[in-house]
Structure 1
Amino acid sequence: MNYTLELNTQEPNSNIVFNTIVFDTFKVNIVERYIGRMNFNPKLFEVIFKVRTLNDELINKKDGNVKVKIKDADFETYHRLTTKLNSYDYKNKLINRKEVDEEYVHFILSLVILNYQLN
């Protein structure tokens, strides 16, 4: 499945970061909330994601809700993956960026499959 990864879209001085993964038939909007100052050691506080069609229509989860909050062990895994995506090595291409991107996308896709009924 083909995808495009759009990372770290954010307003200046905002503690909210938006990431998007666009697949062939749907997209996943990821919202990260941080506490602390963004320019000095921010701490990831909360991660929520929603699945939309390419026309921006929300897709309901299996339980009828729209968004998923990443918690517990999944939150720790997500934090580890975003740390890699935001690292000096990633930004300066000192590590294999494609592998890091794929690991992040596969993790999010596994959560999407777990929570949504996609046709």
Structure 2
Amino acid sequence: MNYTLELNTQEAGSNIVFNTIVFDSFKVNIVERYGGKMGFNPKLWEALFKVRTIGNEIIARRDGNLRVKIKGDQLEAYKKLSEVLNSYDYKNRLINRKAAEEDYVHFILSLVIQNYQLN
């Protein structure tokens, strides 16, 4: 499945980070909320995501809600994956960027499959 990963689109000084994964027929909007100073060791407090059509219509979950809050063990796994994408090694191409991106996308895609009925 083809995808495009758009990372860290945020406003200056904001503690909220917006990431987007665009697939062929839908996209996933991810919102990360951080505590502390963004320039000095920020801590990820929560992560949410929504699934939208390419035309920006929100797709409802199986239970009727619109967004999914990542919590518990899944949040810990998400923190590790997002730390890799925000690392010095990733930004300076010292690690395999494609593998790091694929791990992140596959994790989010597994959460989408668990929570949404996609046709």
> Deviation of residue 115 (structure 1)?
0.1
Q: CA deviation at 1:60?
A: 0.3
Identity %: 71
Partner residue, 1:3: 3
Task: Number of aligned residue pairs: give it.
Answer: 119
Q: Which residue of 2 aligns with 1:104?
A: 104
1:16 shift after superposition:
0.1
Within-5 A mapping of 1:1-119: 1-119=1-119
TM-score normalised by structure 1 residue count: 0.99
Over the aligned positions, Cα root-mean-square deviation in angstroms equals: 0.3
Which letter maps to 1:57? E
Tell me how far apart the structure 2 counterparts of residues 90 and 13 of structure 1 sit (CA, whole Å). 22
| Distance (whole Å) between structure 1 residues aligned to residue 106 and residue 63 of structure 2 | 22
The whole-number CA distance in structure 2 between the counterparts of 1:89 and 1:36 is: 23
In structure 1, C-alpha distance between the alignment counterparts of 2:17 and 2:81, rounded to whole Å: 15
Gaps of at least 5 residues in structure 2 are none
In 1: Cα distance, 2:41 partner to 2:11 partner = 18
TM-score (norm 2): 0.99
SS at match of 1:98: helix
- Cα distance between partner residues in 1 of 2:32 and 2:93: 24
Deviation at 1:74, TM superposition (A): 0.4
The DSSP-based 3-state class of the residue aligned with 2:106 is helix
Q: How far, CA to CA, are the matches of 1:29 and 1:70 in structure 2?
A: 13
The residue identity in structure 2 corresponding to 1:74 is Q
